[in-house]
C-alpha cells in the first residue's frame, strides 16, 4: 500500500511538472512589448525566441485600421495589415535598442515593396512604436544602420505608430517548431537566408 501511494505521488509530481513546462511562462510585471513587421512572420519568430530576455513572442497582424484581421484577408491584401511579431521582453535583460538590432539582421531594409520574394503591403517591413521614446530610439537606430556602410541603397523601412495587434491563427505560432522541414525550405527558398548571410554572415541565423 505504501509503495502504491508513493507511485501516485510520483505520477502527480511528474504530471504537474509537464503541465508547467507546456504552459507559457507568466511574464513578470516589469515586461514591455515591442512590435516589428519583417515580411513573413514565420521567419521573425526564431531569432527573438532565442534572445535572452525575451519572455514571449506572438505572430500576428498590425498596421491596418480594420476592426479584425486573419490570414486569408491579410495574405490576400484585402486589408492594410502587415504580418508582424509582438515581442514581450524584460528590459532588465534586453533593451529595446537590442531588439532593434535583431530586427535589422532579419530583413532587407532597402526593399520597399515587401521582403525578399514576398511582395505586397502585408510583407512590407516596419517598426511600430508605442511611445516617443521608442520612436526616437528606432529613428536613431535606422540612421545608424544607414551610416554603417552595410547597404549601398537607402534604408526605407518605415517607423509607424502602433494601431492594433491581432494574434495570428494558432498554426502560425512557432511554425518553425511545428513544421521544421517546411519552414526551412521556405526560409531558404524565399531568398532571405542568402541575402542575410551575404550581408551579415552566419550571425544572421543566430
Residues 151-183 pLDDT 10s: 999 999 999 999 999 999 999 999 999 999 999
Percent of the chain with pLDDT over 70: 83
For the question of residue 40 being annotated catalytic, the response is yes
Question: 11 or 181: which carries more pLDDT confidence?
Answer: 181
Q: How far is CA 70 from the centre of its chain?
A: 17
Q: Which three cell numbers stand for residue 44?
A: 521573425
Check whether 55 has a pLDDT greater than 60: yes
Predicted model pTM: 0.84
- Among residues 34, 35, 37, 40, the one annotated as catalytic is 40
pLDDT at 203: 54
Which residue pairs from 189-192 have beta carbons closer than 8 angstroms and sit at least 24 positions apart in sequence? 189/117, 190/39, 190/40, 190/43, 190/116, 190/117, 190/118, 191/116, 191/117, 192/39, 192/40, 192/43, 192/106, 192/115, 192/116
Mean pLDDT rounded to a whole number for the chain: 88
Amino acid at each position: 500500500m505504501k509503495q502504491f501511494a508513493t507511485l501516485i505521488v510520483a505520477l502527480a509530481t511528474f504530471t504537474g511538472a509537464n503541465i508547467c513546462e507546456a504552459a507559457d511562462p507568466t511574464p513578470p510585471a516589469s515586461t514591455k512589448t515591442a512590435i516589428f513587421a519583417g515580411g513573413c512572420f514565420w521567419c521573425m519568430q526564431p531569432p527573438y525566441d532565442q534572445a535572452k530576455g525575451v519572455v514571449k513572442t506572438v505572430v500576428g497582424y498590425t498596421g491596418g485600421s480594420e476592426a479584425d484581421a486573419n490570414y486569408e484577408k491579410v495574405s490576400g491584401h484585402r486589408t492594410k495589415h502587415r504580418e508582424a511579431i509582438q515581442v514581450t521582453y524584460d528590459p532588465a535583460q534586453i533593451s529595446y535598442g537590442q531588439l532593434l538590432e535583431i530586427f535589422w539582421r532579419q530583413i532587407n531594409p532597402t526593399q520597399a515593396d515587401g521582403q525578399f520574394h514576398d511582395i505586397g503591403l502585408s510583407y512590407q517591413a516596419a517598426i511600430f512604436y508605442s511611445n516617443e521614446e521608442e520612436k526616437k530610439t528606432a529613428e536613431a537606430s535606422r540612421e545608424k544602420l544607414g551610416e554603417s556602410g552595410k547597404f549601398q541603397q537607402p534604408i526605407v523601412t518605415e517607423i509607424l505608430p502602433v494601431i492594433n495587434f491581432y494574434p495570428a491563427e494558432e498554426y502560425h505560432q512557432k511554425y518553425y517548431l511545428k513544421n521544421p522541414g517546411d519552414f526551412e525550405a521556405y526560409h531558404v527558398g524565399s531568398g532571405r537566408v542568402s541575402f542575410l548571410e551575404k550581408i551579415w554572415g552566419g550571425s544572421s541565423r543566430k
